[in-house]
């Protein structure tokens, strides 16, 4: 038994040492020659990309403090941001990425916020505890969540606001887009 | 074959193996129970002050900001910067960030440090490594069921499952049931 534990410990130490020697700020396998989008040119045509693989670069302006599951990148025009979420190969984003220029390869995801979505959310709010209703907001964009909290913390008010936004948009839904990471590399 | 003897042996050795896991999940469980009250991954401190000697916007560059930061008597290091709004400058530091209102000089210093131990146990509790960790933590979960079941039969007599143990076990089942009745069912 002692020998097994010693062998496992030795393997662990060797693995840790080797992985530290090779460790870079983020995933190192990203191809250098991938044609990159920027936040500036991606934001305007994001609706064309759901389900597609893209490579995009930008400066990290914020990494989620609770668990590092999402970050935001921006480009020359800082009013435009793109939300990046972790993927299968990236368990969490290091907060040290804030301020760095990164290149992300990932899949563009879309959440359609329509009347069906809002009705389900509304039903949860009215039938469940407030904790469960908060859980439904997870699909929403970070900024929309912040709006919800800033307004009154009342999920029903935010549902109504989203209904108003849908009506004002002239379509039957709103879309929330983000990129789920496959590979990530810090450029600087 | 003495089943009770084997129960004791397995309970003992599996208990030893998963001692570390119990600590990991226990600590992270406490941390996650109070997730609304604190950040278990990072210690974040904010400090507000007013900067009077901000360079003009068109003169702001890496050099001028390093110079500005060096005058602040703060133990921080410049990394990069950008304008989050026309008059709001965000300076990223190795230790956090400065958010500077260029018109008023009002500045927010955010200092962030990784919180040791809790960050690591939460990383595991959330199953962020996935892959092999999923298997190991599943094995731990099954072992917990085994340990709790075998634990019922470790002691014989009045203090065992036929006596006092039965009442305590029932109490442990009733308490979560009460919460389910009140909050879920």
- Tens-place pLDDT, residues A130-144: 444 444 455 554 445
DSSP β-bridge partners for residue B111: B45, B96
Per-residue pLDDT, averaged over B99-110, amounts to 95
Kindly list the distances between the CA atom of residue A158 and the CA atoms of A47, A114, B81, in Å, as whole numbers in the listed order: 24, 14, 34
Q: Say if residue A23's pLDDT is above 60.
A: no
User: What is the per-residue pLDDT for A11?
Assistant: 66
Token output for B36: 């609304």
Tell me the H-state helices in A95-154: 115-127, 130-136, 142-151
> Which pLDDT band holds residue A29 (cuts at 50, 70, 90)?
very low
User: What is the per-residue pLDDT for B53?
Assistant: 85
On whether the CB atoms of residues B42 and B120 are closer than 8 A, the answer is no
Residue of B nearest to A75 (CA): B82
Nearest residue to A70 via CA among A176, A154, A188:
A176
Smallest Cβ–Cβ distance between B130 and the set A91, A98, A101 belongs to: A91
Q: Give, rounded to a whole angstrom, the gap between the first and last alpha carbons of chain B.
A: 45
Interface contact flag, B42 A92, Cβ < 8 Å: no
User: What is the per-residue pLDDT for A74?
Assistant: 94
On whether the CB atoms of residues A84 and A106 are closer than 8 A, the answer is yes
Q: Say if residue A72's pLDDT is above 90.
A: yes
* pTM listed for this prediction: 0.74
On whether the CB atoms of residues A124 and A136 are closer than 8 A, the answer is yes
Higher per-residue pLDDT: A25 or A105: A105
Instruction: Reduce the DSSP state of residue B132 to 3 states and report it.
Output: helix
User: What is the per-residue pLDDT for A145?
Assistant: 52
Interface contact flag, A65 B41, Cβ < 8 Å: yes
Q: Say if residue B146's pLDDT is above 90.
A: yes
Q: Give the mutation candidate from B84, B94, B120, B129 for the A interface (greatest A CB count, under 10 A).
A: B84
Q: Say if residue A18's pLDDT is above 70.
A: no
Domain limits, chain A: 27-188
The alpha carbon of residue A51 is apart from the nearest alpha carbon of chain B, in Å, by 23
pLDDT digit string, tens, across residues B48-63: 999 988 889 989 999 9
Report residue B110: phi and psi, to 5°: -115, 120
pLDDT digit string, tens, across residues A31-55: 444 467 899 988 888 888 899 999 9
Interface contact flag, B79 A100, Cβ < 8 Å: yes
For residue B115, count CB atoms less than 10 angstroms from its CB and return exposed for 0-12, middle for 13-18, buried for 19 or more.
middle
Per-residue pLDDT, averaged over A5-23, amounts to 61
pLDDT digit string, tens, across residues A144-158: 555 555 455 678 888
Interface contact flag, B44 A65, Cβ < 8 Å: yes
The alpha carbon of residue A104 is apart from the nearest alpha carbon of chain B, in Å, by 19
Smallest Cβ–Cβ distance between A78 and the set B82, B94, B123 belongs to: B82
Residue of B nearest to A86 (CA): B128
Please identify among residues 74-133 of chain B the ones whose CB lies closer than 8 Å to any CB of chain A. 79-85, 90, 92-94, 97, 112, 114, 122-123, 126, 128-130
On whether the CB atoms of residues B110 and B46 are closer than 8 A, the answer is yes
Q: Average model confidence (pLDDT) for chain B? A: 93
Residue of A nearest to B120 (CA): A67
DSSP β-bridge partners for residue A178: A109
Weakest-pLDDT range from A11-15, B50-54, B158-162: A11-15
Q: How far apart are CA B80 and CA B97, in angstroms?
A: 9
Higher per-residue pLDDT: B83 or A43: B83
DSSP β-bridge partners for residue A114: A173
The alpha carbon of residue B172 is apart from the nearest alpha carbon of chain A, in Å, by 24
B45 touches chain A (CB under 8 A): no
- Check residue A150 and report its DSSP letter: H
Smallest Cβ–Cβ distance between B39 and the set A65, A88, A92 belongs to: A65
Residue with tokens 């996650």: B32
Interface contact flag, A61 B83, Cβ < 8 Å: no
Interface contact flag, A100 B122, Cβ < 8 Å: no
> Which pLDDT band holds residue B162 (cuts at 50, 70, 90)?
very high
Higher per-residue pLDDT: A154 or A92: A92
Nearest residue to B47 via CA among B92, B91, B106:
B106
CATH pick for A27-188 out of 2.40.50.140, 1.10.357.10, 2.40.10.220, 3.30.1300.10: 2.40.50.140
Higher per-residue pLDDT: B103 or A14: B103
Residues of B in contact with A96 (CB under 8 A): 94
> Which pLDDT band holds residue A19 (cuts at 50, 70, 90)?
low
Highest mean predicted confidence (pLDDT) among A29-38, A108-117, A161-170, B170-179: B170-179
The alpha carbon of residue A66 is apart from the nearest alpha carbon of chain B, in Å, by 7
Q: Say if residue B72's pLDDT is above 80.
A: yes
User: What is the per-residue pLDDT for A36?
Assistant: 79
């Amino acid at each position: 038994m002692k020998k097994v534990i010693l062998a496992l410990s030795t393997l662990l130490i060797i693995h840790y040492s080797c992985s530290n020697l090779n460790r870079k700020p983020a995933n190192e396998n990203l191809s250098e020659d991938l044609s990159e989008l920027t936040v500036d040119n991606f934001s305007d045509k994001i609706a064309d990309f759901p389900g597609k693989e893209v490579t995009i670069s930008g400066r990290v302006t914020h990494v989620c403090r609770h668990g590092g599951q999402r970050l935001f990148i921006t480009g020359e025009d800082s009013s435009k941001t793109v939300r990046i979420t972790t993927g299968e190969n990236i368990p969490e984003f290091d907060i040290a990425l804030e301020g760095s220029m990164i290149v992300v390869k990932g899949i563009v995801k879309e959440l359609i916020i329509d009347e069906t979505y809002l009705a389900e959310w509304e039903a949860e709010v009215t039938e469940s505890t407030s904790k469960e209703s908060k859980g439904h907001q997870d699909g929403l964009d970070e900024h929309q969540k912040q709006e919800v909290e800033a307004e009154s913390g009342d999920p029903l008010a935010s549902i109504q606001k989203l209904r108003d936004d849908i009506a004002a948009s002239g379509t039957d839904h709103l879309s929330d887009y983000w990129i789920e990471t496959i590979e990530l590399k810090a450029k600087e | 074959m003495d089943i009770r003897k084997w129960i004791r042996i397995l309970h003992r050795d599996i208990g030893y193996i998963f001692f570390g896991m119990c600590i990991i999940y226990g600590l992270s469980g406490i941390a996650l129970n109070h997730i609304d009250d604190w950040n278990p991954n990072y210690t974040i401190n904010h400090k507000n002050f007013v900067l009077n000697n901000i360079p003009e916007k068109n003169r702001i560059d890496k050099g001028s900001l390093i110079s500005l930061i060096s005058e602040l008597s703060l133990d921080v290091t410049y990394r990069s910067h950008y304008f989050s709004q026309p008059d709001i400058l965000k300076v990223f530091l190795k230790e956090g960030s400065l958010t500077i209102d260029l018109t008023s000089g009002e500045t927010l210093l955010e200092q962030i440090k990784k919180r040791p131990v809790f960050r690591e146990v939460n990383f595991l509790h959330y199953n962020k490594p996935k892959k092999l960790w999923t298997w190991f933590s599943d094995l731990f979960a099954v072992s917990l069921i085994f340990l709790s079941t075998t634990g019922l039969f470790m002691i014989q007599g009045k203090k065992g499952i036929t006596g006092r143990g039965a009442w305590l076990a029932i109490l442990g089942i009733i308490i979560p049931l009460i919460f389910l009745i009140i909050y879920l069912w």
